[in-house]
Amino acid sequence: MKISIKNVTKYYDKKVLDDISIDIDGYSAVAIIGLSGCGKSTLLRLISGIEFPQGGEIHINDWKSTKETKREYQNQLGFVFQKHNLFPHLTLKQNITVILEKVKGQSKEEAEARAEELLNMLHLHDEMDKKPAKVSGGQAQRASIARALSTKPSLLIMDEPTASLDPILTHEVLMEIKHLKSMGKDFIFVTHELNFVKNFADYVIFIDEGKIAEHGETNILNNPSTDKLKAFMKNVSYD
């Protein structure tokens, strides 16, 4: 995957991302890490084309999101958010078929076959006819991964996909994500699970107060060159 971010600046009431630039090519799992409030989710929203920067440009695999191309751009991506955003009144299966029928124009049969295939792959065979409130947090999160995959995106964007899960469910979801990587999907993701970053990410972007303080192949976590990343690793590592 190719990520090119040029002089991106994002303000809300204050500056959140301050003239960020990075060019990377050839990595399939890119992690964005940093302290709470540093701007990770904001950067992910810009990369997702959900919001736009006030300055600068973002290209992912030569795709660029503008107000005109937003829909086309987003069709190439799958999203998984911190809290699953499944429709509460629909079953897990219907959460997927509704997208395939309405957005992709698939027939009911086609959409159901695809939904079942994905839910089976994520070990949700027995849960597919339940509504989100009737399944565990990990199952709901796996269903949102299934939904993100339903449109066959090559790139998944995930913001703390395990944040609401206990350690066992976290493990379960992370194993699924690893499996998807082995199937050739690309990922840009935010997580606080540094052990997962260490054994899953190929590349790490460390953000500090709205700037990229350090970036490089994942090994930088074991051998940081900036004081900021050194301090971050010292404060968050327990191993």
Ligand X SMILES: Nc1ncnc2c1ncn2[C@@H]1O[C@H](COP(=O)(O)OP(=O)(O)OP(=O)(O)O)[C@@H](O)[C@H]1O
Tokens of 6: 């040029």
Of 41, 61, 85, 151, the residue at the interface with ligand X (CB under 6 A) is: 41
Burial class (CB in 10 A: 0-12, 13-18, 19+), 13: exposed
228 near ligand X (CB under 6 A): no
Number of residues that bind ligand X (CB under 6 A): 11
40 near ligand X (CB under 6 A): yes
Contacts of 175 (CB under 8 A, 6+ apart): none
Q: Give the range of 10-18, 57-65, 101-109, 227-235 binding ligand X by CB under 6 A.
A: 10-18
Of 164, 175, 168, residue with least CA distance to 137: 164
Q: Tokens 């990410």 appear where?
A: 201
Q: Tokens 């810009």 appear where?
A: 46
Q: Give the range of 36-44, 126-134, 194-202, 214-222 binding ligand X by CB under 6 A.
A: 36-44
Of 5, 31, 33, 38, the residue at the interface with ligand X (CB under 6 A) is: 38
Residue 238 partner contact from ligand X, Mg ion, none using kind-dependent CB cut-offs of 5 to 8 Å: none
Residue 18 or 110: the one with the smaller Cβ distance to Mg ion is 18
Cα angle for residues 122, 123, 125 (degrees, 5° grid)? 115
Residue 36 or 222: the one with the smaller Cβ distance to ligand X is 36
Q: How far apart are the first and last CA of the chain?
A: 31
Residue 134, number of CB atoms within 10 A of its CB:
12
Of 82, 121, 78, residue with least CA distance to 103: 78
Residue 45 or 130: the one with the smaller Cβ distance to Mg ion is 45
Of 25, 26, 36, 105, the residue at the interface with ligand X (CB under 6 A) is: 36
Residue 39 partner contact from Mg ion, ligand X, none using kind-dependent CB cut-offs of 5 to 8 Å: ligand X
Question: Which residues here bind ligand X, judged by CB under 6 A?
Answer: 12-13, 16, 34, 36-42
